[in-house]
């Protein structure tokens, strides 16, 4: 069911236990039941109704918050999901309730020193789309850098062959990186578009070519933009939006 994109593994377990899964017209309520590829899987409307209540939240994460569990005294980003921090520009029409915090988890990392778009979701389908093994959703970042003692007009002196390496040719932990789109936005800022998300990937890539990252902001995930969402505030993913 998870592989077909019907739900997350956790949801599949819950639905089976509640008798909401039908295989070839027979309700299945035993976990681990084997299903052949040619068999027809149907989902009870009650499961779809419950799934429709799941929320996905877009947060403009500030520096100083970790994406996931609290660590080293730093608070997790989910603690910012409060009524007070709900952006008044949200046009989703969804009303906040405490139940929306249940099983709300980040779909992808954004390290403590970085800002920008962080997605938190209750929906396993969204998480799979963004961070699943076969995900091909691209993520866009604006990255402010220094080069040696140089803080401006770096684009004029940074070697073209090093820029080419950032685009393709670097390895992290002895694993070659996928091709990336990298270009200068101005004399001190690069634009990165990646289709993978290794830990501190952009910072480590820049170090390998002599650049020091002094600011990193994620501005897009797939077709969803950070836009005008203020730092420290959040909004719901609208019904008409998709990654």
Residues assigned a catalytic role: 111
- Is the alpha carbon torsion for 157, 160, 165, 166 positive or negative? positive
Residue 208 is classified by DSSP as H
Helix (H, G, I), strand (E, B) or coil at 176: strand
Q: Give ∠ CA 221-66-200 in degrees, rounded to 5.
A: 60
SS (H, E, C) 177-199: CCCCEEEEEECCEEEEEECCCCC
Q: Give ∠ CA 124-129-135 in degrees, rounded to 5.
A: 135
């Amino acid at each position: 069911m998870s592989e077909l994109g019907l739900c997350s593994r956790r949801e599949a377990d819950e639905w089976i236990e509640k008798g909401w899964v039908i295989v070839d017209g027979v309700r299945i309520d035993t976990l681990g039941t084997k299903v052949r590829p040619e068999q027809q899987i149907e989902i009870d409307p009650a499961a779809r109704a419950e799934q429709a209540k799941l929320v996905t939240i877009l947060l403009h994460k500030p520096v100083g918050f970790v994406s996931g569990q609290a660590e080293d005294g730093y608070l997790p980003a989910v603690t910012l999901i409060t009524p007070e921090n709900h952006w008044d520009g949200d046009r989703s029409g969804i009303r906040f309730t405490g139940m929306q915090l249940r099983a709300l988890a980040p779909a992808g990392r954004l390290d403590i020193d970085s800002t920008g778009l962080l997605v938190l979701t209750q929906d396993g389908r969204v998480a799979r789309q963004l961070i699943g093994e076969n995900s091909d959703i691209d993520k866009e970042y604006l990255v402010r850098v220094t080069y040696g003692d140089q803080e401006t007009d770096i684009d004029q002196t940074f070697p073209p062959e090093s820029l080419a390496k950032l685009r393709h040719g670097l390895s992290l932990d002895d694993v070659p990186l996928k091709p990336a789109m990298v270009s200068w936005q101005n004399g001190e800022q690069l634009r990165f578009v990646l289709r993978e998300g290794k830990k501190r990937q952009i910072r480590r890539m820049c170090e390998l070519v002599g650049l020091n990252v002094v600011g990193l902001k994620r501005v897009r995930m797939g077709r969803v933009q950070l836009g005008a969402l203020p730092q420290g505030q959040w909004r719901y993913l609208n019904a008409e939006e998709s990654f």
